[in-house]
């Protein structure tokens, strides 16, 4: 079971931690990319590392994948220390980085076969595995074309296939769907669900609360290299006030009456929106709350211009946890995709 | 020993990957092969009559050994540029996350560049034969000559590999190698007979490994003026041995240095 809300001291002892990191610090010239991050993923579970651009997600991933060394802190992956036994860690993980690590001059098949040989699988097994993975990732038809000709989604899938060549027990995926169109994203989600169904332990990073919600058992929200919240998607949503009903009234004279109706379902105080006529109420009952409010408005003769149930996004989580909106860092590519999450 | 055999097995996988790129982007290869042809023709026809290397040997004949030496040494630039390119692309992250030998990317790159050099030597030899160059000392000696050229180029490849990892930018590599390799090949006996250098410059030329390489190649191809002592320097009296010593020395220094730099550079 997922760790319940808090830091996970209790209840996890009998589970094997496949990833556990303590006090990770990484400094670059001008920034502290990580400032004491702790992570733990029990065997067979999915942890989402959720944060805006520049939060430190990739830095954490690169440390766990032994691509860089932390300045402080330790991490153990599949029972092996990233500092003392980098090679052991590499044998146990499959990494799909933020930018697809495929050789564009090689075909999909050649890419996968090469990775197999570098894992030491030998020629016959590498070829067989390459064909199998191409099939599984819907790339068979394109398998003999240079990967330069692939679409973004295909490249991403090929990269993920590369991470799976040696069927590693731990998978680390850095923003696996950023920059993908909605259809490719859905496909990727399906693939990831299958992997988890087959028992892999997974750490995935994302900028989308929806994605973390769909895929992860447990979510760690980070900002500026620090954990700012941790829990299941539901816990996070309730921490942020969960879902909200947003109303725009026709007449601001109805305001007090509307606040009273909303107050019956709201979990906190009813808040003013952008204008005098806009109101927002945090709710937990979803569509039920909405129909209750609609009924109340009808009974009271309150006319609405617009009313809707809004599910929280990473931005909402951020706003409520930090008091500021997500501020995108440099990365323009991921930044432009950041809005389409929920 | 295990580490070495893994470096070789994994290195071979990377070599094949690099060779596939030659197949997929043949433009690069065409450029690699055209420039040595140009060199041979330019030097043979532009300077062919202007310089007299000594009795009984035409400048064309004398020149070919020098052009061979210069071209294969310049070929090492590819190693630096290729590595710089790899370092900039995401593929290096894949390699680094695999349980493979940390030397494999370097072994693979330097090995695939030997293939470039073999091809350009073949092309140059054919062009040379067309303009009047001849192998006059037997096939085995000639093979030894080609072998020595390739060995020396291989060693320089490791130097350029180190530079390529130090400054991972293709443009900088190309300029840097020009700055190093131009003087190395021009302040040597590659294009100008050693007699035409004086004083300190002469000493430099005599002990420049490119001079020894060129001298050894000319010797093995039978292109030296008969019976003439060009220099008393030990390096040029035993040019093949002196060249081999450089090869060993360079590899001993730059193989570990490059492997270390690979680990550092890819883990920033
Ligand atoms: N190699 C680097 N050199 C300097 N700064 C870096 C480097 N890598 C990351 N950073 C900085 O560290 C912070 C965290 O970056 P990153 O881990 O890539 O965030 P995320 O993946 O969450 O977008 C950012 O401010 C970024 O600019
Ligand atoms: Mg990132």
Ligand 1 and A53: CB distance under 6 A: yes
Closest to A46 in 3D by CA, of A204, A152, A188: A204
Local confidence band at A323 (pLDDT 50, 70, 90 cut-offs): low
Ligand 1 and B267: CB distance under 6 A: no
pLDDT over 80 (residue B60): no
Task: Calculate the CA B113 to chain-centre distance.
Answer: 10
Question: Which among B93, B105, B109 is the top mutation candidate for probing chain A, defined by the most A β-carbons within 10 Å of its own β-carbon?
Answer: B93
Ligand 1 and A56: CB distance under 6 A: yes
Mutate which of A26, A27, A51, A56 for ligand 1 pocket (most atoms within 8 A of beta carbon): A56
Tell me which chain B residues have a C-beta less than 8 angstroms from the C-beta of A66: 96-97
At A301, is the secondary structure helix, strand, or coil?
A: coil
Ligand 1 and A59: CB distance under 6 A: yes
Q: Is the ipTM of this complex over 0.90?
A: no
Q: Nearest residue on chain B to A91, judged by CA atoms? A: B99
Whole-number Cα distances in Å, A248 to A183, A261, A329, B154: 33, 14, 33, 75
Nearest CA to ligand 1 atom 3: A28
Q: What are phi and psi of B110, to 5 degrees?
A: -65, -35
What angle in degrees, to the nearest 10, is found between the helix axes of A123-136 and A152-164?
140
Local confidence band at A312 (pLDDT 50, 70, 90 cut-offs): confident
Local confidence band at B222 (pLDDT 50, 70, 90 cut-offs): confident
Q: Report pLDDT for B227.
A: 61
Q: Where in chain A is the domain with CATH 3.40.50.300?
A: 18-238
Q: Where in chain A is the domain with CATH 3.30.70.980?
A: 243-310
Ligand 1 and A104: CB distance under 6 A: no
Question: For A18-238, which CATH superfamily applies?
Answer: P-loop containing nucleotide triphosphate hydrolases (3.40.50.300)
* Element spanning A157, H or E: helix A152-164
Range with lowest mean pLDDT among A24-38, B134-148, B217-231: B217-231
pLDDT over 80 (residue A162): yes
What rounded mean pLDDT belongs to chain A? 85
Distance CA A180, CA A160 (A): 14
Model pTM score:
0.81
pLDDT over 70 (residue B88): yes
Local confidence band at A337 (pLDDT 50, 70, 90 cut-offs): very low
Q: Nearest residue on chain A to B87, judged by CA atoms? A: A101
Interface of A with B (CB under 8 A): 65-69, 87, 90-91, 93, 95, 97, 99-103, 105-106, 110, 114-115, 117-120, 146, 159, 162
Alpha-carbon distance B171 to nearest alpha carbon in chain A (angstroms): 21
CB B119 within 8 A of CB B213: no
Closest to A314 in 3D by CA, of A246, A212, A176, A163: A212
Local confidence band at B223 (pLDDT 50, 70, 90 cut-offs): confident
Residue A215, class by beta-carbon neighbours within 10 Å (0-12 exposed, 13-18 middle, 19+ buried)? buried
Class of domain A243-310: alpha beta
Mutate which of A48, A58, A63, A95 for ligand 1 pocket (most atoms within 8 A of beta carbon): A58
Tell me which chain B residues have a C-beta less than 8 angstroms from the C-beta of A120: 99
At A103, is the secondary structure helix, strand, or coil?
A: coil
Q: Report pLDDT for A244.
A: 82
Closest ligand to C-alpha of residue A176 is 2
Atom number of ligand 1 nearest to Cα A225 = 14
CB contact under 8 A, B94 and A115: yes
CB contact under 8 A, B90 and A114: no
* Element spanning A118, H or E: helix A108-118
């Amino acid at each position: 079971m997922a760790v319940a809300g808090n830091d996970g001291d209790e209840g996890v002892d009998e589970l094997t931690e496949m990833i556990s990191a303590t006090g990770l610090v990484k400094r670059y010239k001008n920034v502290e990319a990580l400032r004491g991050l702790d992570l733990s993923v029990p065997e067979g579970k999915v942890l989402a590392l959720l944060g805006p651009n520049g939060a430190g997600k990739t830095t954490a991933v690169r440390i766990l994948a032994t691509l860089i060394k932390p300045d402080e802190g330790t991490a153990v992956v599949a029972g092996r220390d990233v500092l003392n036994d980098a090679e052991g860690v590499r044998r146990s993980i499959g990494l799909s980085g933020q930018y697809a690590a495929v050789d564009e001059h090689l075909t999909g098949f050649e890419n996968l076969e090469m990775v197999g040989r570098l894992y030491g699988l030998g020629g016959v097994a590498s070829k067989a595995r390459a064909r199998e993975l191409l099939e599984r990732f819907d790339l068979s038809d394109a398998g003999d074309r240079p990967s330069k000709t692939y679409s973004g989604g295909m490249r991403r899938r090929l990269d993920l296939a590369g991470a799976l060549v040696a069927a590693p027990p731990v998978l680390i995926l850095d923003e696996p769907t950023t920059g993908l169109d909605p259809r490719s994203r859905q496909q990727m989600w399906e693939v990831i669900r299958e992997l988890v169904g087959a028992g892999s332990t997974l750490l995935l990073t994302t900028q989308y609360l929806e994605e973390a919600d769909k895929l992860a058992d447990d979510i760690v929200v980070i900002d500026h290299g620090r954990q700012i919240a941790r829990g299941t998607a539901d816990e996070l949503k309730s921490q942020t006030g969960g879902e909200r009903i947003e109303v725009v009234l026709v007449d601001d004279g109805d305001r007090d009456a509307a606040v009273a109706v909303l107050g019956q379902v709201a979990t906190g105080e009813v808040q003013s929106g952008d204008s005098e006529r806009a109101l927002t109420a945090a709710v937990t009952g979803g569509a039920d709350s909405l129909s209750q409010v609609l009924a109340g408005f009808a009974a009271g003769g309150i006319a609405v211009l617009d009313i809707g149930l809004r599910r929280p996004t990473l931005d909402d989580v951020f706003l409520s946890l930090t008091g500021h909106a997500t501020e995108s860092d440099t990365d323009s590519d991921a930044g432009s995709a950041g809005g389409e999450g929920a | 020993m295990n580490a070495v055999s893994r470096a070789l097995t994994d290195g071979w996988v990377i070599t094949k990957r690099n060779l596939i790129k030659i197949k997929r982007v043949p433009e690069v290869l065409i450029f690699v092969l055209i420039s040595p042809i140009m060199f041979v023709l330019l030097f043979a026809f532009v300077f062919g009559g202007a310089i007299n290397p000594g009795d009984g040997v035409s400048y064309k004949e004398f020149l070919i050994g020098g052009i061979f030496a210069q071209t294969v040494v310049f070929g090492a630039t590819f190693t630096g540029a290729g590595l710089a390119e790899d370092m900039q692309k995401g593929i290096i992250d894949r390699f680094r996350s695999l349980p493979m030998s940390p030397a494999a990317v370097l072994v693979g790159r330097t090995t695939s560049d030997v293939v470039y050099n073999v091809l350009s030597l073949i092309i140059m030899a054919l062009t040379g034969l067309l303009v009047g160059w001849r192998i006059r000392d037997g096939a085995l000696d000639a093979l030894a000559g080609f072998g020595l050229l390739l060995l020396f180029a291989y060693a320089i490849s490791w130097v350029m590999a180190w530079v390529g990892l130090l400054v991972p930018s293709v443009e900088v590599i190309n300029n840097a190698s020009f700055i190093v390799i131009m003087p190395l090949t021009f302040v040597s006996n590659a294009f100008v007979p050693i007699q035409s250098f004086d004083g300190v410059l002469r000493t430099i030329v005599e002990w420049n490994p490119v001079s020894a390489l060129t001298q050894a190649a000319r010797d093995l191809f039978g292109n030296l003026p008969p019976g003439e002592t060009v220099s008393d320097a030990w390096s040029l009296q035993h040019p093949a041995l002196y060249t081999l010593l450089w090869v060993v020395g360079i590899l001993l220094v730059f193989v570990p240095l490059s492997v270390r730099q690979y680990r550092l550079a890819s883990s920033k």
